[in-house]
Amino acid sequence: MGQAGWKGFFQSAFDYKTEKYVIAKNKKVGLLYRLLQLIILLYLVVWVFVIKKGYQDTDTSLQSAVVTKVKGVAYTNTSELGERLWDVADYVIPPQGDNVFFVITNLIVTTNQRQSTCAEREGIPDGMCSQDQDCQAGAPVIAGNGVKTGRCLQAGNSTRGTCEIFAWCPVETQSKPKKPLLRDAEDFTIFIKNYIRFPKFNFSKANVLETKNKGFLKSCRFGPNNHYCPIFRLGSVVQWAGSTFEDIALEGGVIGIHIEWNCDLDKAASECHPSYNFNRLDNKHAKSVSSGYNFRFARYYRDPAGVELRNLMKAYGIRIDVIVNGKAGKFSIIPTIINIGSGVALMGAVSTPPPTHCLSRVEKITGHILPCMVALPHAFIK
């Protein structure tokens, strides 16, 4: 670069440049311009700052712990079990009180099972037979209850029978009570204690009322005006989830209890409240052979001769999933400046002058010019 080039470069480095504005004295263009400014201003104030709280820093990394406890007793009198009182140790699984737990409402009980040989249950395809050759010794029955012994057991003069198996005998029957066994479970109570913390703001809270009154939790119940008494009646939870207790207790189901914490930490901590929502998580409308919720467990013991026995339970009931979500916000200068700057940039974009190549196309209107950057239809030009 020559001497003249360097001189021109240094001189231009200290030049001050301004934009050239063109005034279009047209009421319709001016109205459009002010309308765009008003829309941007409303967007910035109403949507960004009032609704979305764009002046706040947010924390969605909620830390949560849930402790649950079920209380209540039920009385039953059946041919399989006789008279029995059920308390929380009998019908709640697992007993630790986690955020997922199961309350038994119905049972199929097969008592006094022992390991021996018996006929496989009818209705299992791999357990059906017409001769001994159909029952390969040592082969497990697919989707069945035991291992084949090699014998085909036929009742009476029937040509079809079931394979003899080595299993826990007698095998489970499929007769299900027409009504829930633990009908009193509708009045069981569920205590859900939820601790939450937003680490960014070092803010912690629980969903239980802070009081020294020891009798508060013994007498209160959750309701629309009492969100700090998280003691729920099981029948009410089922109803709020859109189901009837009789239906879900008979075949089982899954209910979600959602706890939502949306906290504005610019206000007092007492203004941060939990909100609750209840819904049925399994597909209650599906007419399927796998509808409902159930599983099996056994209780083992020995007879006076030392032989191991067990009672097999096929339990139907209500699985409760406690799901916690939340978000906290607090004023911060950084997002405030960023959002104000974005709004100012949008306002500036509206008043940006047209590009140079566009100025070549003008219309003379009553002695004034209208730049073509605003692609207005001819109806606007009078």
314 annotated to bind ligand: yes
101 annotated to bind ligand: no
295 annotated to bind ligand: yes
Taking phi first (over 0 means left), then psi (-120 to 50 degrees means alpha), and beta for anything else, what does residue 138 get? Answer: left
| Parallel/antiparallel/unpaired status of strands 161-169 and 146-153 | antiparallel
71 annotated to bind ligand: yes
Angle, alpha carbons 11-13-18 (nearest 5°): 105
- Cβ partners under 8 Å of residue 153, min gap 6: 119, 161, 162, 163, 164
213 annotated to bind ligand: no
CA 222 to chain centre: 20
Paired tokens of 31: 């109205």
Q: What does the alpha-carbon distance between residue 280 and residue 269 come to, in Å, rounded to a whole number?
A: 32
Taking phi first (over 0 means left), then psi (-120 to 50 degrees means alpha), and beta for anything else, what does residue 29 get? Answer: alpha
173 annotated to bind ligand: no
Look up residue 75 and give its amino acid: Y
73 annotated to bind ligand: no
327 annotated to bind ligand: no
Residue numbers in the known binding site are 69-71, 189, 294-296, 314
Residue numbers in the known binding site for ATP are 69-71, 189, 294-296, 314
